[in-house]
């Protein structure tokens, strides 16, 4: 397993880019061009990912359960997160994230399949098929680099 794709994924990765490309070639940055985040793969088969738009406004309330509906909707629109388990299809170079919790409830219980492209300390996870992003079917590509402290 030492050289397997699964073994190479283990650990923490820092987000360096998140794009969605339309059939016309137009690229958008769903969380902005400087989105931040992490994805972590554990040896026991768990995955956790979070990505966010930078410079989101603070809530007016200091209450951890506070914020107006508009504030909460705005900050949630700039954040994605999910966690669950993962498997790797070594033959096809695909990681499958089995979502157990997610900010967007529609993803819970579903699998995200991503093509793995590894180049040293850089990782690209590429959706296998277009998905609806910003009102258009787009191919999502997420770029990571191995995280250091």
4 in a structural domain: no
Instruction: Dump pLDDT digits (tens) for 109-120.
Output: 999 999 999 999
117 in a structural domain: yes
Q: What are 54's two structure tokens? A: 């930078």
User: What Rg do the C-alpha atoms of the chain give, in angstroms?
Assistant: 16
Q: Are 14 and 147 in contact (CB under 8 A)?
A: yes
93 in a structural domain: yes
Determine the pLDDT at residue 3: 83
Determine the pLDDT at residue 57: 87
Query: How far is 87 from 74, CA to CA, in rounded Å?
Result: 33
Instruction: Dump pLDDT digits (tens) for 3-47.
Output: 899 999 999 999 999 999 999 999 999 999 999 999 999 999 999
Determine the pLDDT at residue 66: 86
103 in a structural domain: yes
Q: Are 108 and 102 in contact (CB under 8 A)?
A: yes
pTM for the model stands at 0.92
- The alpha carbon of residue 108 and the mean position of all alpha carbons in its chain are separated, in whole angstroms, by 14
Q: Are 28 and 36 in contact (CB under 8 A)?
A: no
CA angle 127, 128, 130 (to 5 degrees): 70
2 in a structural domain: no
DSSP class of 104: S
At 84, which CATH number? 2.40.128.280
48 versus 76: which is more confidently predicted?
48
Mean pLDDT confidence for 88-97:
98
113 in a structural domain: yes
74 in a structural domain: yes
- With 80 as the cut, is the pLDDT of residue 2 above it? no
Residue spans of alpha helices (H) in the chain: 5-9, 69-77
Determine the pLDDT at residue 49: 98
Determine the pLDDT at residue 116: 98
- With 60 as the cut, is the pLDDT of residue 1 above it? no
Domain that residue 37 falls in: 11-146
136 in a structural domain: yes
Q: Are 49 and 81 in contact (CB under 8 A)?
A: yes
The total number of structural domains that make up the chain: 1
């Amino acid at each position: 397993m030492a050289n397997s794709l699964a073994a190479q994924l283990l650990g923490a990765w820092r987000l360096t880019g998140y794009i969605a490309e339309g059939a016309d070639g137009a690229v958008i940055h769903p969380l902005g061009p400087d989105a931040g985040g992490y994805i972590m793969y554990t040896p026991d088969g768990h995955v956790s990912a979070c990505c966010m738009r930078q410079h989101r406004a603070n809530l007016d309330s200091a209450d951890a359960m506070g914020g107006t509906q508009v504030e909460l909707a705005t900050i949630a629109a700039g954040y994605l997160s999910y966690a669950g388990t993962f498997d790797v299809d070594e033959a096809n170079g695909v990681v499958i994230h089995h979502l157990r919790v997610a900010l967007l409830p529609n993803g819970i219980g579903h699998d995200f399949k991503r093509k793995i492209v590894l180049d040293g300390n850089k990782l690209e996870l590429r959706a296998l098929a277009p998905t609806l992003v910003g009102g258009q079917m787009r191919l999502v590509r997420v770029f990571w680099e191995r995280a250091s402290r």
